[in-house]
Amino acid sequence: MTGLKRRTLLQASVTVASALAAPQIKAQSKPEKLVYVGDNGPWHYAMVEEIAPAFEKATGIKIDFTLLPTDPWRTRLRTELGAGSSGIDVAQWGVGMAGWIAPFMEDHEPLLAQIKSRHADFDWSDYLTGTKKAGTYDGKLCGIPYRITTGIFHYQRALLEQAGFATPPGTWDELLKVAIAVNKPPDRYGFGTMGLQGAGLYSGYAPWLYSNGGRLLDFKTGEIYINEPKAVEALQFYGDLNAKYKVVPPEAMTWAFDDIVAGGQSDRYAMTQMFAPYGTLINDPKISKTGGKWAWTTVQGPHSKEEGRTWVDGHFLGVPRFTKNKEWALEFIAMCCSREWQKRAMIRGNAPPLRSVLEDPEMVERIGWPPVAAQAIETGFPTPGHPVWDTLEVQLRSAISQTLHGQTTAKVALDQTATEWQRSLRRAGIGRG
């Protein structure tokens, strides 16, 4: 582990484990296991393979992970929490889920004091302000931030230089020009994306939408903007990369989260816009064919780099109201969110919400993308947290997918989305009838 003080991290984990082992929790009997329900993104490696075993060694409690694709994960939480089930001890949830999951979660504001009383190194002020806001809905803190991420531009510097480009593209026209120049089918393509009609589509489209000044909708009035000219133009440009210019790997139309990482690791594309921390996984020489070749910058704007905007999202670890193991669940969350374990998780693909970890010189030197992500987060647009967003986002997927495949124009696809959104908003009691 070049450049990293592995011994320091391991010693820190032992310290955390020792603290957990102390007889601090007396009010609750010790369960044999805690049930964790979350998504199956590749950023869980450290949590599953290192943190959970350390927690079990310290406490004797096993963490039973249920890690599911995005839609089944959300459905599982909705179903069990909605029924008042006590079968989930730790609920992982994302920014876009805040509205509907809030009633089923503990208020974590008073729980912060409990964590601090047992873990002197816990520093709530170290968490990025945006992550605290994203974890709060209607004034209620519904979980502790574990992962804060955003979309940035990843590119293989040498490939661009070999094609005659000394710097990464700053505008859409420049991006298209570079993508065509480095496009070498069937071995390698210019641009990678997640084309599977699933949860990855929104994060693929959102940077183009926001960079072009496009909007989604107004959740208070029900006014819909998704089929306005700026949104249409953004989706058409994005779709044309695949359907018209053929600079996207054909198999990328089946790619989701793990696949975009695997595509980068196997040198299937020269550039992409995707999750910032995935840069750790595609740039690691131990697991990636392209390891050490990647560089990062913020996303392009249509006419200037300064116009570039992206999405901001994150994941939180929360204690459901109905679990019978609240204090033990909180202990596991505290361990996951400790500074030293956050460092280790960052090495293995996570994006910590702690300012001290993101700005750690050792981490920046090894990983590379944190300063770019921090810059993108400053001007990014958080994923909507309104309860109806889940429904709207699923409906938007069809428009993005159809445009990527060239089955219809962005205008036709987004007009249809706007019609579907109108019906969904009326059912939710938003806007006029």
- pLDDT number for residue 36: 98
pLDDT tens per residue across span 308-325: 999 999 999 999 999 999
Cα separation, 255 vs 189, whole angstroms:
14
- What is the percent of the chain where pLDDT is above 90? 85
For 6-22, what is the mean pLDDT?
42
Cα separation, 96 vs 101, whole angstroms:
10
Closest CA to 210 of 188, 225, 195, 231: 231
Cα separation, 359 vs 78, whole angstroms:
36
- pLDDT number for residue 160: 98
CATH fold label, 6-149+313-382 = D-Maltodextrin-Binding Protein; domain 2 (3.40.190)
For 364-373, what is the mean pLDDT?
92
* Identity of the residue numbered 28: Q
Helices assigned H by DSSP within 60-199: 70-82, 98-101, 108-118, 129-134, 157-162, 172-182
* Identity of the residue numbered 226: I
**More reliable by pLDDT, 6 or 419:** 419
- pLDDT number for residue 2: 33
- pLDDT number for residue 351: 92
- Residue 15 pLDDT > 50, yes or no? no
The sign one gets for the Cα dihedral 201, 206, 212, 216 is: positive
Q: Band of the pLDDT at 7, cuts 50, 70, 90?
A: very low
Cα separation, 35 vs 246, whole angstroms:
45
For 155-182, what is the mean pLDDT?
98
pLDDT tens per residue across span 196-234: 999 999 999 999 999 999 999 999 999 999 999 999 999
- Residue 31 pLDDT > 60, yes or no? yes
pLDDT tens per residue across span 102-128: 999 999 999 999 999 999 889 999 998
- pLDDT number for residue 415: 98
- pLDDT number for residue 18: 40
Residue 315, classed as helix, strand or coil, is strand
Residues carrying CATH 3.40.190.10, the chain: 6-149+313-382, 151-311+384-427
| Residues 143 and 150 sit within 8 Å (Cβ to Cβ) | no
- pLDDT number for residue 25: 58
Residues 6+ apart with CB under 8 A from 5: 362
Closest CA to 277 of 373, 380, 374: 373
Q: Band of the pLDDT at 378, cuts 50, 70, 90?
A: confident
Start-to-end CA distance of the chain, whole Å, equals 60
- Residue 133 pLDDT > 90, yes or no? no
Mean pLDDT over all residues of the chain?
Answer: 92
226-232: long-range contacts, CB 8 A cutoff, minimum separation 24: 226/396, 226/414, 226/417, 226/418, 226/421, 227/411, 227/414, 227/415, 227/417, 227/418, 231/414, 232/410, 232/411, 232/414
- pLDDT number for residue 255: 98
Q: Which two tokens stand for residue 428?
A: 């939710």
Q: Band of the pLDDT at 131, cuts 50, 70, 90?
A: confident
List b or e across 174-195, with b for residues whose CB sees 16 or more CB atoms inside 10 angstroms. ebbebbebbbeeeebbbbbbbb
Cα separation, 410 vs 35, whole angstroms:
43
Closest CA to 97 of 354, 309, 314, 273: 314
- Residue 370 pLDDT > 60, yes or no? yes
pLDDT tens per residue across span 323-345: 999 999 999 999 999 999 999 99
- pLDDT number for residue 23: 38
Give the architecture (CATH level 2) of 151-311+384-427. Answer: 3-Layer(aba) Sandwich (3.40)
pLDDT tens per residue across span 238-295: 999 999 999 999 999 999 999 999 999 999 999 999 999 999 999 999 999 999 999 9
- What is the percent of the chain where pLDDT is above 70? 93
For 47-60, what is the mean pLDDT?
97
For residue 209, how many C-alpha atoms fall within 13 Å in the half-sphere facing its CB?
Answer: 26
Q: Band of the pLDDT at 24, cuts 50, 70, 90?
A: low
